[in-house]
Amino acid sequence: MKRDFRLIDQNMLDKEHFPVQAVFNMVSDERFIQIIEGISEGRGFGENFGACVFPDDLDEYDIATGGIFEGVEFGLHSGEEVVIDYVTLYKYLQIISSSFIEDYPDKQETLNKLLNKYKQKYNIE
């Protein structure tokens, strides 16, 4: 059975990470692999009511107005946002990928490659 949500409350590492949960739960199954591929390359993404942003996604205006941060920012259109480090994001990627693989076991190899690419990019042990 396909899930409505990939990140549930019990999976959250910190209750303040709600924007991470909300943004990932907005991603459709059809876009999931594409989103993880972008993340593995350090590119964020936007959904209807939120976004995931890497520092390299920032433009000159963002930088000039003090938008610089270390890690990955998840924000909701409501204004709620959180910045998490690359290791924490990797932990969430593992959780949501495991959930996705339960529904789409034929995508396991693809997701494993993308997660390994992310690990290498951000030197995660």
Place of tokens 């924000």: 75
Cβ–Cβ < 8 Å for 70, 83: yes
15-68 pLDDT, tens digit each: 999 999 999 999 999 999 999 999 999 999 999 899 999 887 765 655 555 666
- For residue 118, the tally of other CB atoms under 10 A from its CB is 20
Q: What is the dihedral of CA 62, 65, 66, 71, to 10 degrees?
A: -10
Cβ–Cβ < 8 Å for 61, 52: no
What's the pTM value of the predicted model, to 2 decimals? 0.91
Token digits for 113?
């490659």
What residue spans define the domains of the chain?
A: 15-120
Token digits for 21?
């949960």
Arithmetic mean of pLDDT, 61-87: 82
